[in-house]
Amino acid sequence: MKRTLAFILIVLIGISVEAQVKSVEKETKKQGTWRINRNISKGVSSGLDEVEDGIGGLFGKKKKNGKSDGKSNSDNSGNSVAGKDPDALFAEHGIYPPDDATEVSIPVRLKWQEMDNDDFRAAHYELYLDIVGASGNNMLGVSRKTEYECKDLKPNTEYAWHFVGQNSNGEYMPGGGGRFTTGSGSAGVTSTGTNSQTNTEDFGAFSSMFPANGGVIAFPPFLDWEIPNESDYTFTVHLEGDDWSDWMTKNTTKTNASFTSNPTNTSNFRWQVIAEGNGQRLESPWQSFTTTDEGSLAASKPAAPKVDVQWSKFDFVPGDEVIFEDGPSVDEENGEFPSRWDLFEGSAEIGAMNGEPIIMFLNGGGAIIPYLKNPDQDYLPEIFTIEFDVWFPKGQTTNNRYFISFRDKKNQWNKGLDEYLTVTPTGLEFESTNKRYPGTENLGWSVEPTGKWRHISIAYTKGKFKAYMDDTRLINVPHLEGDPWGLTIEAQAENMYLRNIRIAKGGVKYYDRVLSDGKIIVNGIRFDVNKATIKPESNGAINKIYKLMQKQPELNFSVEGHTDSDGDDALNQTLSEERAKAVMDRLISMGISANRLKYAGWGESKPIGENGTSEGKANNRRVEFVTFN
C-alpha cells in the first residue's frame, strides 16, 4: 500500500513540475523579457530538487552529495576531462564543459552552439554562472560569439551555468548550460578565442552591472543592473561621455535604462546607478565602456542633400493638426501594455528594436485601438490622414498581414466603415482593389524575403480614399460608401511590430494658406531622432512646396524649424537650425534658385501646441515656410 501511494505521489509531482516548466517556457516566449529567462534554470532546478527530496523521504533515501555545497563529488570521477582537448569535447557533446564534467581546468572557456533557426536568431548571448548551492544568479557578461572565458574560478568547486540569447529585435530566448566541477590546476590543453567583455568588477551593493568596466556594446547604450530586493528602490542613472560638459540623468523604477540621444558623437562613456529606498542611498562604482556604432551616434552636420529618387513622385501630404500620436514614447516600459492604446483582442506590449521603442504583437497577434475620451463617438473628421510603420518578419505565412479597420471595434460596434484595408508584405487590398508594390509582382503575396519595415499612409477627403505603401499610391477610391469613425489595427501573428502612428486632421491647399496667413505650417516633414536627416516619407510635403514655388515664381520662403520642449534648450535651437537648412538645401538641389530661399531655427521658443501631450509635441515639431520679399 505504501509503495502504491508513493508511486501515485511521484506521478502527480512529476506532472506538476512538468506543467510548471511548460508554463514558464510559455510565459518566456510570450513576454520576451530577460528576467523571466534568467530564472528558468534556477526555477526548474529547484523544482526537480524538491521532487528528489520528496521521493527520497518516502523510501528513506537522501539527496546525492555534491548538489548542495558546491564541492566536487568523487563519484563523478568517470566524467573527468583532465588533459582532454576542449574542442574535441565540444564537437562530441555540442557544449563545453560537458554536463557534469569534473576536473575542468581553470580558466574555463564556456562554449555552446549558435542559436540560429527560422524562429529565433541570436545577435548576442548573456552568460550566468553560480556556485551550486549558493544563492543568486550572477551575470558574467555578454558575448557576441558562442564562447566565454571564465578566469577567476575557485578550484575543486561545482558550478552551474547557462546562457540566454537575444536577437536583433531585443527579444530573449533561454538557451542551454549545465554543471561542471573545476580541477585543482590550470589548463593543460586550451582552445582559442576571445569574448567581448570580462567582468570581475566589484559592484558595491549591486550584484551586477552591464556594461561593466571595459565593456564594448552597440549604440545606443542600454544599461542594466541588479540589486537584492530591487522593488524596494527607485533608481537614478548617470551617463557621461568623455567630452561632455555634464552627465545625463534618468530616474526610473526599472532596473535598466537606455539613452537614445546624446550631445556629442563620442563612443567613450562611463555610468553609475544610485538606489534609494528603505532609508538608504546606495551608489554603485562608476563603470566605463565604449560603443561600436559611431555612425549612429548623436546629431552631426547633415550630409550634402541628395534627392531620394524612389520617393521623388510621392504626393501624400499629412493633415495640418495632429489629433493622435504615438511613437511609442521612450518613457514607455518594456513588457508593459502600450499606454496610449486599448486592447480589443489578443496581446501586445512595448518592446524595442535597435534601441527604439515599438509595439509588439504576441502569441498569435492582436488588435489594438487608440485610447481616447468618448471612444464610442466619431473621432475621425471629414478630412483626415493616418500614418504608421509596420514590420514584416522574414518568411512566408498566410498570417503575414495586418487588417486596418476604420472603426473602433471595441466601442463602435455596427458603426463606422465596414470595409477594411489589408496590408501584406507585397501590397494593399481594399474593397475590390488588390494592388502590388512595384517589384514584388513575382513574389507570393505573403512572402517577405528579408524582414522589412513598411510605411503606410492613408488619406480620406470627403469620400475620397487613398492608401500608400512606402512611396507608391496603391489604392484610389473616388467615391467611398460609408463614413470612417475610428481606428483598429490588427496583426495576425506574433513577431509583428508597429510604430510611428499618427492621425491628423484636414488641410487647406498650400497656396490658400500663403494668401491668408503669409506662411505654410507643415508637420509632415520628419527627421531621424535628434538629427537633421530628412526621412523619405517627408518627400510628399517637400514635393508639394517645390511644385508651388515652380508655379508661383514670385514666392520666396524663409524655411524655419521648430522643436518640442524635450531635451536641452541650446541643443534644440541648434537642431532646429540644422533641420531648416537641410530642407532648404533639398529644395535647392531640386532646382529652386538659392536666392528665393533662406533659413532660420527657433528651437522650442514658439510652440503652437501643449508640450504636455504627445499630440501637442507633434504639432510643435514642424517646419514653417514664411514668405519674404
The CA angle 355-356-358, to the nearest 5 degrees, is 130
- 425 vs 402: CA distance, rounded Å: 9
The CA angle 354-356-358, to the nearest 5 degrees, is 110
* Residue in this structure with the C-alpha cell 463614413, named with its chain if needed: 483
Which domain-ending residue is among 281, 296, 311? 296
Q: What is the pLDDT of residue 401?
A: 94
Confidence of residue 14 (pLDDT cuts 50, 70, 90): low
Are 491 and 345 part of one and the same domain? Answer: yes
Cα first-last separation, the chain: 104
The number of domains in the chain is 4
Name the more confident of 507 and 327. 327
Are 339 and 449 part of one and the same domain? Answer: yes
Strands of the sheet with 622-627, listed across from one edge: 519-522, 622-627, 557-562, 597-601
- 318 vs 320: CA distance, rounded Å: 7
Q: Is the pLDDT of residue 245 over 80?
A: no
Closest CA to 233 of 184, 270, 284: 284
Confidence of residue 6 (pLDDT cuts 50, 70, 90): low
Which domain-ending residue is among 474, 506, 538? 506
What mean pLDDT comes out for the span 191-201?
37
**For residue 593, is it within any domain?**
yes
What pLDDT digit, counting tens, does each position of 17-30 carry?
Answer: 444 444 433 333 33
- Tell me whether residue 414 is exposed, middle or buried, using C-beta atoms within 10 angstroms of its C-beta: 0 to 12, 13 to 18, 19 or more: exposed
**For residue 358, is it within any domain?**
yes
Are 270 and 348 part of one and the same domain? Answer: no
Q: What is the pLDDT of residue 443?
A: 86
- 352 vs 362: CA distance, rounded Å: 14
Q: Is the pLDDT of residue 350 over 80?
A: yes
Are 350 and 400 part of one and the same domain? Answer: yes
Q: What is the pLDDT of residue 169?
A: 64
Confidence of residue 530 (pLDDT cuts 50, 70, 90): confident
Are 407 and 486 in contact, with CB atoms under 8 Å apart?
Answer: yes
Confidence of residue 462 (pLDDT cuts 50, 70, 90): confident
* Mean per-residue pLDDT of the chain: 79
DSSP-derived letter for residue 473 is E
Are 386 and 247 part of one and the same domain? Answer: no
Element (H, E) at 348: strand 341-353
Which residues, 6+ apart, have CB-to-CB distance to 249 below 8 Å? 236, 237, 238, 239
* Residue in this structure with the C-alpha cell 500620436, named with its chain if needed: 325
The domain that holds 579 is classified in CATH as 3.30.1330.60
Confidence of residue 185 (pLDDT cuts 50, 70, 90): low
Are 523 and 493 part of one and the same domain? Answer: no
Are 164 and 128 in contact, with CB atoms under 8 Å apart?
Answer: yes
Closest CA to 243 of 270, 217, 220: 270
What mean pLDDT comes out for the span 30-46?
37
**For residue 34, is it within any domain?**
yes
**For residue 577, is it within any domain?**
yes
- Tell me whether residue 395 is exposed, middle or buried, using C-beta atoms within 10 angstroms of its C-beta: 0 to 12, 13 to 18, 19 or more: middle
Q: Is the omega angle on the peptide bond into residue 393 within 30 degrees of 0, that is, cis?
A: no
Q: What is the pLDDT of residue 166?
A: 77
Three-state DSSP at 86 gives: helix
- 184 vs 162: CA distance, rounded Å: 23
Q: What is the pLDDT of residue 295?
A: 35
| Upper half-sphere CA count for residue 426 (Cβ side, 13 Å) | 19
Q: What is the pLDDT of residue 143?
A: 76
Confidence of residue 34 (pLDDT cuts 50, 70, 90): very low
- 163 vs 182: CA distance, rounded Å: 19
- Tell me whether residue 278 is exposed, middle or buried, using C-beta atoms within 10 angstroms of its C-beta: 0 to 12, 13 to 18, 19 or more: exposed
- 581 vs 401: CA distance, rounded Å: 39
Are 354 and 485 part of one and the same domain? Answer: yes
**For residue 94, is it within any domain?**
no
Are 586 and 612 part of one and the same domain? Answer: yes
Are 416 and 373 part of one and the same domain? Answer: yes
Q: What is the pLDDT of residue 226?
A: 81
Are 623 and 602 in contact, with CB atoms under 8 Å apart?
Answer: no
Q: What is the pLDDT of residue 50?
A: 42
Are 214 and 275 part of one and the same domain? Answer: yes
Are 251 and 362 part of one and the same domain? Answer: no
What mean pLDDT comes out for the span 353-374?
91
Pairing of strands 402-405, 139-143: unpaired
Read off the C-alpha cell for 96. Answer: 563545453
What mean pLDDT comes out for the span 54-75?
39
Q: Is the pLDDT of residue 142 over 80?
A: no
Q: What is the pLDDT of residue 574?
A: 94
Q: Is the pLDDT of residue 149 over 60?
A: yes
Q: What is the pLDDT of residue 491?
A: 95
What mean pLDDT comes out for the span 554-579?
94
**For residue 136, is it within any domain?**
no
Are 346 and 483 part of one and the same domain? Answer: yes
Q: What is the pLDDT of residue 196?
A: 35
- Tell me whether residue 297 is exposed, middle or buried, using C-beta atoms within 10 angstroms of its C-beta: 0 to 12, 13 to 18, 19 or more: buried
Q: What percent of the chain has pLDDT over 70?
A: 78
Q: Domain range spanning residue 613? A: 508-629
Q: Is the pLDDT of residue 37 over 50?
A: no
Q: What is the pLDDT of residue 507?
A: 64
**For residue 342, is it within any domain?**
yes
Q: What are the DSSP calls for 548-590, one per residue?
A: HHHH-TT--EEEEEE--S-S-HHHHHHHHHHHHHHHHHHHHHH
The domain that holds 470 is classified in CATH as 2.60.120.560
The domain that holds 276 is classified in CATH as 2.60.40.10
Least confident of 73-87, 235-249, 353-367, 507-521: 73-87
Name the more confident of 326 and 356. 326
Q: Is the pLDDT of residue 74 over 90?
A: no
**For residue 448, is it within any domain?**
yes
Q: What is the pLDDT of residue 54?
A: 42
What mean pLDDT comes out for the span 371-379?
93
What mean pLDDT comes out for the span 182-208?
55
The model carries a pTM of 0.49
Which domain-ending residue is among 479, 506, 533? 506
What mean pLDDT comes out for the span 446-451?
90
